[in-house]
Amino acid sequence: MVAVELEVLAKKFDRFGWERDRGSAAHDRMLVDWMNALQDFPLTEVQAACRAAVLSNPNKMPNEGHIRAEIIKARAKAVQSLPRPEPEPSARRGDPANADQIMRDIGFKPRRFGASSQGAAE
């Protein structure tokens, strides 16, 4: 389907030479280059990028690099419009209660000295 987008752009910008080259090695290489460069992107993004490239520079046929750049630019704009995640409150480092909890979580049980440990031993 990416090749179809190239065909459409070529017909829009070059009304005389594109059909003449059909089936040639150069024509086939252009199709392969477009497909290789844009195969990882959804077709809807490729189509939107083709429209954006044509609108931004209507006198020049975009190549696969222009289309890829338009896709990246649109994705960056979409990411910027997303709400920022709230940072998770972290426990204060060095807090004794936090340190004790971490030690219990990993299974560390220190021996305690004092009256309670002597009473348990007797």
The string of DSSP letters for 28-74 reads: HHHHHHHHHHHTTS-HHHHHHHHHHHHHH-TTS---HHHHHHHHHHH
* Dihedral-angle region of residue 4 (phi above 0 means left; psi in -120 to 50 means alpha; beta otherwise): alpha
| Res. 102: pLDDT tops 50 | yes
- What's the pTM? 0.60
Grouping H, G, I as helix, E, B as strand and the rest as coil, residue 122 is coil
Q: Is 89 domain-assigned?
A: no
For 24-44, write each residue's pLDDT tens digit: 888 788 888 889 999 999 999
pLDDT band, residue 4 (cuts 50/70/90): confident
Q: Is 37 domain-assigned?
A: yes
Q: What does the DSSP 8-state code read for residue 82?
A: S
Q: Is 121 domain-assigned?
A: no
pLDDT band, residue 5 (cuts 50/70/90): confident
Q: Structurally, how many domains does the chain consist of?
A: 1
pLDDT band, residue 122 (cuts 50/70/90): very low
Q: Is 56 domain-assigned?
A: yes
Q: Is 91 domain-assigned?
A: no
Residue holding tokens 């030690």? 103
Q: Is 109 domain-assigned?
A: no
Residue 68's domain spans which residues? 2-81
pLDDT, averaged across the chain: 81
For 50-94, write each residue's pLDDT tens digit: 999 989 988 888 889 999 999 999 999 999 999 988 887 775 566
Q: Is 111 domain-assigned?
A: no
Q: Is 12 domain-assigned?
A: yes
| Res. 121: pLDDT tops 90 | no
Q: Are the CB atoms for 31 and 3 separated by under 8 Å?
A: yes
Which position has the higher pLDDT, 57 or 6? Answer: 57
